[in-house]
Amino acid sequence: MPRPKQRTPELRDRVLQAAVAMLADEGVAGLTTRRVAHDAGTSIPAVYELFGDKAGLVREIYFEGFRSLLGRFDAVPVTDDPAEDLVAVAGVFRSFVRANPVLSSVMFARPFADFDPGPDELRASGSVREFFVSRVRRGIESGVLAGDPTDIAHVLLALGQGLAAQESAGWLGRSAASRNRRWTLAYRTLLAGLRPDR
């Protein structure tokens, strides 16, 4: 007996979560529409109806990654020290990449040849930059940073991506203490160089 056709939001979420979990377990090469459908308890036609094709599924994984990252950023408390708040945000970014290396690759390295981000996808990735811009602007308005907030946000995010890539490859240090120290050193040194008195 064929499965009932129920293209519900719940099924869509289940398929998306199955795809994200498969990426985490199997990597980019292991993501197939057939296996995602199986793990989500649905059919391949249902996946195609919900997402269009595999590229459409990857597109939604991409969006899900940025939604998840922004949710973590939004949970970072705002204190009376904007510079240390940025160090805390960097720590959240680091934790996200460490917990979701393959998802982070989809978000920042685009490993799927058949997925080319369009304007909507670029807006989703831009939302992370805008979060950094807002936190940097707060530092500028508080007088602890000086410079263009968008430029600084780009640099902070690029620094985090570079450090995360080094850490993922095992090049940032052998011990947790050394890796932690280098993340903190990188951000605090950069932010110290952006103080108005410099």
Q: Phi first, then psi: give them for residue 142, nearest 5 degrees.
A: -85, -10
- CB contact burial 58-75 (16+ within 10 A = b; e otherwise): bbbbbbbbbebbeeebee
pTM value is 0.82
Largest CA distance in the chain: 74
User: Of 137, 189, 145, 141, whose CA–CA distance to 163 is shortest?
Assistant: 189
**Cα-flanking dihedrals φ and ψ of residue 19, to 5°?**
-65, -45
- pLDDT attached to residue 198: 65
Fold assignment, 1-52: Arc Repressor Mutant, subunit A (1.10.10)
Would you kindly state where each structural domain of the chain is located, as residue ranges? 1-52, 60-193
The pLDDT, as a whole number, for residue 1 is: 45
Q: Domain 60-193 carries which CATH code?
A: 1.10.357.10
pLDDT per residue as tens digits for the range 127-184: 888 999 999 999 999 999 999 999 999 999 999 999 999 998 899 999 999 999 999 9
